[in-house]
Every structure is written in C-alpha cells, then in structure tokens.
Structure 1
Amino acid sequence: MTAISRTLFTLLAFSTLTTQAASLETLEVMSKPHANWLTLDASIEAVKAATVSAQTSGRIVKLNYDVNDVVPEGAALLEITSKEQGAELASYEADLAKATALNVEAQAQFKRYTELFPQGAISKGAMDEATANAKAAEQAVSAAKARVIKATESLKYTVVSAPFSGIVTERLVELGETVSVGQPLLSGFSPSQMRAITQVPQRYIPQLKNAPEFIVRLNDGRELTSQDLTIFSFADPVTHSYQVRINLPKDEANLQPGTWVKALFKNGEREKIQLPTSALITMNELSSVYLKKGDQFVLTQVRVTEPLDGEVEVLAGLKSGDIVAMDAYQVLLEQKQ
C-alpha cells in the first residue's frame, strides 16, 4: 500500500470519529454579498499606431531606422532621391519670377492708362485691354506661387519623417528600391499610450453602461483600473457582442501591443461563502472541512474554487451558520493521537 493510499485510508477511517472541540479554534460560515466579476479576454493595442507611405516617387537612398528601433518625433526615417523634385522646384521658381516681372509691367501700364483715359488720350478699347492684361498678370503670379508651393512640398516629401515618437515594428522597403506615391514604407507605434480591446456579450452591456469600470489584469500580476471606456454603438453581426476600448494609464511600463490580458468588470452582486485555506484538507481533487456538530467534528466534503489570497470560495457542501474548524490539520492530528 502506497503512502497516499494509507493516508486516504486513514482519512476515511477517521471521518466518523469525533474529538472534543473545546481547545480548537472555529469559524462560523457566513454568506456575504460580493461583487460578481465577469472575466473576459482582451488584447493590448497602441492608441497611436501608423504606417507611413511615400508621398512622392523616387529611389530610396538612405534608411535611417529599422525594426525595433526607437524613433523620436520628427526624425528622418528614410530619404528618397530629390533631383527631379529639385529641378521641378527651380523651374517653377523661374516661372514665378517671369510672371512677377510681367505683372509689374502690366500694372504699370494699367496705371498710366487710367490717368490718360479721362483726358481722351486713350481709346476705350485700349483701356479695356490694359485692364484685362493687369488682371491676367496678377492671376498668373498667383498660379506660379501655387506651383512653387506644390514643388516645395514635393521636395520635402523626399525626406520621410516620423509623425510621433515610437518604435518601428515593420520595414516594408529596401535600400535602393524605387517607390511610388502611396506605397507603404514603415510601420510603428507609440508606447506612451495603450488600450485594451475586448468583446462584451450583448446581455452585459446595460450593466456595463451603468457602472463603466474595468480592471485589466496583466500577465505579470499587475492590475490597472480604468473608467475611460469607449463602448461601440453597434454589435458584431456574427458574435452579437460589442467591442469595448479600455484606455489604460499613460506611460505604463512593459505594455506590448498584441499581448493577451484579462479584463474584469462588475456584473452585479451575489452571495458568496469564503473560507481560509487552513480550514481545508485536500487529497488529490478531494477537498473537505471539519464541520462541528454538537461538541464533535465530522469530516465533510466541499467543492471549492482555486485559492486566491489565502482564501477559497465554497461552491457546495456548506451553508450560512455552519461552524467549521479553523485549522483542519490540527483536528486530524488530534484524531490520530
């Protein structure tokens, strides 16, 4: 007979034995209202996450950052050839200078004709032509300025800058590769602000709206409380659940997008019986307590949850008003003696 079998045989043999309870500490079982926490799976995602794309065409001549690099806001991520854009800007600047000179001449002629026309020295047709030329020259200058601004921006696009400080998660191009407008280049996220995403079943939404608060339990044991929630106003047509965004405290360390966490929220209250683990005798999957009946203790089987903070919840086997031994193994020891 093995040691476990002998111990189990001893427990069964002494389960109907009694012992005097005068010197043993006891505990009265009390059913108390506790918050009914609903636990859901959630994933972490970054509030700020983006994929930068090319806004001009050209060949990549410099890559300054790669995957997992930390990038400050405004830093140059990569550079694209700029000769074509520079030449275009120079051409438009020359057109602007020409349009400006013609406008100066047209405005001067219009001013002279305006002074001579009342004296009858200029015909009505010549005055109308001078007026039209002055307006056309002025609009030509505006158009030339717009082309210069566009070319200047196109030249700036040859240096792709980081929209915010963060970490590079994906590089989609190689050095020397030719890119076109709209082609994705690099992806990244900002670690300063994270949120948890979970799916809440439809039947729990009214309760969540009445008490909008979540506890996010991380894998390292930390618990983050948040009341900053965004409950989507529409349900998923397949799962009939609502997506909820839980904004987490800023600058919280060691939060990585894509990791799984637990999200808990209160779903009303329920009556609950809790006992300290010292009141339990556990053998394999069998859990029992010593229930006091009169002046004696009787071994009684119970069904309990996993221990948490030194206590277990009794699911079956006890009711309010029952008295159990505080130290079950002490009772077992006295029975053996």
Structure 2
Amino acid sequence: MLKQKNKKAVIGLFLGTLLTTQLSAASSLAAETIESIQIKPRSIATRVTLDAYIEPVKAATVSAQTSGRIIKLNYDINDVVDSGSPLLEITNIEQGAQLSAANAEYAKAQAINIEAQRQLARYQTLFPQGAISQGAMDEALTNAKAAEQQLSAANAKVAQAKESVKYTVVNAPFSGVVTQRHVEEGETISPGQALYSGYSLSQMRAVTHIPQRYVAAVKRQPQFRLILATGEQIESDELTLFSFIDPNTHSYKVRINLPQNQTDVIPGSLIKAQFVSDNRTAIYIPKSSIMTMNALDTVYLKQDNNWVLTQVRVGSSDNGQIEILAGLSTADVIAKDAYQALQTLNNHH
C-alpha cells in the first residue's frame, strides 16, 4: 500500500512539474525550428438563441359559396394538390335551373329593349315633322331608358347564376397539402361552411418572441440564423418585427422568412433562432496548438528562447479554431502544432 501511494505521489509531482516548469530547448536551433503563431484577439459576435417554430406563410380554409349536396370528394388529409385542382363537387340542379331562368329573363329583356329602341328611333324621325306629340316622344324616351336598365339587370342575374354554377365545383386556391377535411360525401352544405383546410409548401417562416431588452439589437442588425432539427443553418434577413408587445409573453413577436421551396421543414416543428446581441473580443487558436494530457488542455508558450508547457481553459470551437478562455494573453507566441513541438524538443534534449 505504501509503495502504491508513493507511486501516485511521484506521478502527481511529475504532472505538476510538467505544467509549471520551463522545458528548455537543447539548442537555439530547436526553438527556431518550431513553427509558431502570435496571439491576436478578434472581435466575435455574441449570439442569443431563442426557441422558434415553423409555420406556413400561406394557409387557408376553403368554405362553401353555395348550397347543395356533396357528390364527390377528390382529396383527403395529407394529399398534395395543385393550384386550381377541383377539391369537391356539389349538385348543380338548382344552380342550373337558376341559370336557365336568368337566361330566359335576359332574352325577354333583350327583346323588350330592341323594340323600345326601335320605337324611339321612329319617334325621333317623326317628331320634327309634327306627327308625334311631345308627350309621346317623352314616353318613348323613358321606355327606351327603362328597357336598357332592365336588360342590364337581367345580364347581371345571368352572371350571378353562372358564378353560382361555378361554385358547385370547389377548386384549390393554391398548391399545397390538405391538413383537414371538414365534410363527408353525401353531406348537404350551406354557404360559409368550412370544407377543406391546408397550407402552401412553397414558403415557410419561423416565428419567435424577442425579450424587450434585445429589441434594439435586432433593429440594429436585423438578421437571424435559423438552426433546423437536422443541424442545417439558414441565414435570413427577411423578417417582420411586430411593433407592439404580446400581452401574454411580454415580448415582441418576429417572423423570419425562409428561402423559397425549403422542403425539409414542417409546420409546427421546433427550431432554434439566433441573432447578434453584441460583439466581444476573444482569443482563438488552431486545434493543433492544443495538447490534451490527463484531461488537461495545454499549449507550448514561448518565453525568451524557451518553450513552457502552459495550461489553458478552452471554450467553444469554430471552423477548426478553439476559443481560449484563460491562460493566454494578447501578443503571446505559441507553437502552432503542440505535438510536433513536443517531438522536436524531445529529439534535441
């Protein structure tokens, strides 16, 4: 037991000495052959990460515009539809009868108008000759104007009846996916009743809420980084920041548009939204400059013509660079490759 304790004490003493004692190069040549870099702090953005969710930019519920019985349903939940595709069909017997009646009324009004205009033309020819009284002339003019108005009203009824017939086939307002079907085949519907709900797949947006203290930062730099569930990152500066506070969350709502046809996002899914709140100065060094020994991160720091193994505290990594939170200062010189430096020093020891 005593030997084991002595052994641990020797190992601990060795590690402590390794981190605090200078490792002198056997020659100045050894120190010069080690490739080094000088510490230069850089300004990096401080990002705030918020929870966000995906919603479609274009979503709608299609409602009935006429009454009737459903005779055919062409789509169901989760089906993808094209713009203008017929979603369902309604009986059109009543609407067809109304169209026939409107056409008949229009034909009658047209005949009356033709006769009234002809009579007015005859009276206008005879009136200068004194064959027609002023009263008859005024009556003919009134009848002609009334016939024109009746013809116009009949034409409007025909147009209305035609639209009513068109309403018996309900078309998709845009391309998208069906999320809910509110009716069944054979069901009788009335105007205003919901039929289908769905959303467009072509344009999505992220929605999040920003605490009041960060609103100024978002206005100063209106750009977000969206991190999807797959890990994909999307940058977007197309956003809408609401100008009023949500009374429930006491924060500002913001909508961030995603690129067109972003097919790998699903409405309702949760993502992360990041924005720059401030900038700070940080030190980053290459990963190769760090040597990990017994869970301790160290670098070779150059002091005069000697190399010192110095412990550092590391932070986040970014594109092959690791942030140094403690242990190094501006203008310090360190070995670019710590393991290569260790080998070089051992070869010249």
TM-score by length of 1: 0.82
Q: Deviations over 1:208-239 (max 9, x none)?
A: 23322222222222222222222223232343
Residue 235 of structure 1: aligned partner: 245
Q: Establish whether residue 270 from structure 1 lines up as the match of residue 289 from structure 2.
A: no
Instruction: Name the CA shift for 1:15/1:113 in 2 (closer, same or farther; >3 Å).
Output: same
Structure (1 or 2) with the larger CA radius of gyration: 2
Once the two structures are superposed, the pairs formed by residues 149-228 of structure 1 within 5 Å of their partners are 149-228=159-238
How many Å separate the matches in 2 of 1:182 and 1:161? 15
C-alpha RMSD of matched pairs (Å)? 3.3
Aligned to 2:129: 119
1:12-39 CA-partner distances (Å, limit 9, x unpaired): 5544222736478877655322122222
**Identity %, equivalent residues:** 51
Counterparts of 1:272 and 1:310 in 2: how far apart (Å)?
15
**Deviation (angstroms), 1:140:** 0.5
Aligned residues: 325
- Name 2:66's counterpart in structure 1: 56
Q: Which of residues 15, 20, 24 in structure 1 aligns to 2:23?
A: 20
What's the CA shift for 1:244?
A: 2.1
Conserved 8 A contact 1:61-1:176: yes
Tell me how far apart the structure 2 counterparts of residues 169 and 282 of structure 1 sit (CA, whole Å): 56
Structure 2 gaps, min length 5: 2-7
Residue of structure 2 equivalent to 1:129:
139
Structure 2 residue aligned with 1:84: 94
Contact 1:25 1:327 in 2 (8 A): no
Note the C-alpha offset of 1:151: 0.8
Give CA deviations for 1:299-334 in whole Å, capped at 9, x if unaligned: 7473x4455545443445654456777648x97xx9
Amino acid at match of 1:211: Q
1:16 is paired with a residue of what secondary structure? helix
What amino acid maps onto 1:17 in structure 2?
T
Q: Give the Cα–Cα distance (whole angstroms) in 1 for the partners of residues 24 and 187 of structure 2.
A: 85
Give the match's secondary structure for 2:76: coil
Matched AA of 1:34? I
For the residues of structure 2 that align with 1:100 and 1:243, how far apart are their CA atoms?
59
- Between 245-254 and 151-160, report the one with greater CA deviation: 245-254
Q: Is the 8 A contact 1:36 1:268 kept in 2?
A: yes
Asked if 1 retains the 8 angstrom alpha-carbon contact of 2:23 and 2:309, the reply is no
How far does the alpha carbon of each residue in 1:133-179 deviate from its partner, in whole angstroms, 9 at most, with x for none?
11111101100110110111111011111111122122121111222
* AA matched with 1:16: G
**Which deviates more from structure 2 when the two are superposed, residues 212-221 or residues 160-169?**
212-221
* Deviation (angstroms), 1:77: 0.9
TM-score (norm 2): 0.79
Counterpart code for 2:199: F
- Per-residue deviation, 1:247: 1.9
Q: Distance in 2 between matches of 1:145 and 1:9?
A: 106
Contact 1:17 1:298 in 2 (8 A): no
Render the CA deviation track for 1:275-297: whole Å, top value 9, x for unaligned: 555626487xx764467596675
